[in-house]
Chain A
């Protein structure tokens, strides 16, 4: 099935460092969502983006809807051990909540 390109695939960082990840597509999206998934759990919504250029924060997390509408970025500032998990982007092209997911970025934080 179709999936969005997400990078990096995985990353190890030191506690306190900032993290950046992105998601790209060849298609234009109307909505971008960012989720975090812990092992054995369902994805938990972190941030929702609704229009091109939008920059939205949720605590230490900041996400942006790319101007071209074909990409999105997620930044985590001052990472902590509980940030460990898999981060997924998801995009909707039709406005009907049929989301295409990225391949995931696996984050590991070293204390």
Chain B
């Protein structure tokens, strides 16, 4: 079982650009959540997808959007990147209560 996988591992963008991050959930998991983790902080909930719909959203602007595909994989899109968007972006999948995290994508905005 590969667990949760994310791509790419690292990414460097400049301000104003757009970025797409990808996630494949753990086998059998149908719910995907995205978290942003700034350096030295705990993860912050961005949004959650279930049955291809955004089910919940945290306190993040509309520049952050996502998608879930029929195979449960998911994408996180961020438009008009700001310096403050630099962080580790974590994808997490779940079937029941406990949430399993992927290794993350390190995004650096210059």
The reply to whether B56 and A43 contact each other, CB–CB distance below 8 Å, is: no
Across the interface, A101 reaches (CB within 8 A) one of B44, B94, B97, namely: B44
- Chain A interface bracket (under 10, 10 to 19, 20 to 34, 35 or more): 20 to 34
Q: Besides the contacts A90-B42, A96-B56, what 8 more A-B pairs have beta carbons closer than 8 Å?
A: A33-B99, A42-B90, A45-B101, A98-B48, A99-B45, A103-B41, A104-B40, A104-B41
B102 close to chain A: CB less than 8 A: yes
**Chain A residues close to B by CB (< 8 Å):** 1, 3-4, 6, 31, 33, 35, 40-45, 48, 50, 88, 90, 92, 96-104
B contact residues, total (Cβ < 8 Å): 26
Interface pairs A-B: 5 shortest CB-CB? A101-B42, A42-B101, A1-B44, A48-B98, A42-B103
* Residue of A31, A42, A99 ringed by the most chain B CB atoms within 10 A: A42
